Amino acid sequence: MLEEIIAPLFTTEWGRRSSFAAIIIFSLCLLITVIEMPITWYEDYRLANPKIVAKNTQTAPNQTMAFIMKLPDQHLFGASDTNLPITSLQLHLIGVVESSPESASSVIISEAGQPGKIYQIGDSVASGVKIKTITRDGVILENGGRMEKLPLSRPPLTFQGMPKNLLPGE
């Protein structure tokens, strides 16, 4: 039975052509793999040994090490403020002015019932509390090395009954 299936691959013209095409495709895949292998190995070597390779490139080892030291502070999918605890400080976020360069954004925060003051990223609000990030709906504060969120308080929406029909006769 198996011989009846395999025999046409070698005895017919169509079988010989398709076998030859399969051998050519396999050979091309093998050739591409052999060519790409040293390139991949070299790139892996450069990633594993930045000090050795940095001598031959324009990138200084200090820049590479500075980048590596910043990696633990980075977020995998961007900064997320959903899991941050809300600050227990006596601060009240009055308003947010968000700007396209984030460094130009500002907020109005009042401390312990005082009149609000304008702050930007990097400013100190209270003793040892710095503004880390300004978002559309709040501020992320750095309080003694811990990140906390100061949300923008908004009054709840209230509705005054069903809306009236604007079309006459309905």
Q: What is the CATH number of the domain that holds 100?
A: 2.30.30.830
Residues 22 and 49 in one domain: yes
Tell me, what's the pLDDT at 99?
Answer: 81
Tell me, what's the pLDDT at 26?
Answer: 96
Range of the domain at 8: 1-74
Query: Is 18 domain-assigned?
Result: yes
Tell me, what's the pLDDT at 58?
Answer: 54
Residues 2 and 69 in one domain: yes
| Ranges of residues in the chain whose predicted pLDDT is under 50 | none
* Residue 77, CA distances (Å) to 12, 55, 85, 138, 168 in order: 57, 33, 19, 19, 52
Tell me, what's the pLDDT at 157?
Answer: 64
Pair 162, 152: CB distance under 8 Å: no
Nearest Cα neighbor of 132 from 117, 122, 119, 143 is 122
Tell me, what's the pLDDT at 65?
Answer: 76
Tell me, what's the pLDDT at 25?
Answer: 96
| Number of domains within the chain | 2
Tell me, what's the pLDDT at 35?
Answer: 94
Residues 63 and 22 in one domain: yes
Tell me, what's the pLDDT at 73?
Answer: 63
Residues 4 and 70 in one domain: yes
Query: Is 160 domain-assigned?
Result: no
Tell me, what's the pLDDT at 27?
Answer: 96
